[in-house]
């Protein structure tokens, strides 16, 4: 199967995730791995509050959801690393 055949097969079947949600997820994952869950989620919440209050961004529940998923993923990775290494 070539790439173009595969692309035709999955087109429309896998939802596209907006780039900014991926950025929220990866930044929260990185912050959790470096500083811990509480600090990472606090930064995510603060960013959304800043967007709301300043009017410079658009506060979004889905951004916060991506932050939370990134934090949970980072916490799971931290737990696994601390358990097995």
This prediction's pTM = 0.80
The two structure tokens encoding residue 81: 């690393």
The two structure tokens encoding residue 51: 């967007």
> Is the pLDDT at 43 greater than 70, yes or no?
yes
In angstroms, the CA 19 to CA 67 distance is 13
Q: No. of H helices and E strands in the chain?
A: 4, 0
Residue 3's alpha-carbon distances to 6, 8, 12, 17, in angstroms, are 5, 9, 16, 20
pLDDT in tens, 51-77: 999 988 888 999 999 999 999 999 999
Of residues 10 and 81, more confidently modeled = 81
17 and 65 in contact (C-beta within 8 Å)? no
At residue 31, the pLDDT reads: 97
In angstroms, the CA 51 to CA 62 distance is 13
> Is the pLDDT at 10 greater than 80, yes or no?
no
At residue 64, the pLDDT reads: 95
Average pLDDT over residues 29-38: 96
């Amino acid at each position: 199967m070539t790439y173009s055949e595969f692309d035709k097969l999955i087109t429309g079947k896998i939802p596209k995730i907006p780039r900014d949600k991926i950025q929220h997820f990866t930044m929260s994952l990185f912050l959790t791995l470096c500083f811990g869950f509480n600090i990472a989620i606090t930064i995510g919440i603060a960013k959304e509050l800043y967007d709301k209050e300043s009017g410079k961004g658009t506060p979004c529940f889905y951004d916060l959801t991506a932050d939370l998923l990134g934090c949970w993923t980072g916490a799971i990775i931290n737990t696994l690393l601390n358990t097995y290494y």
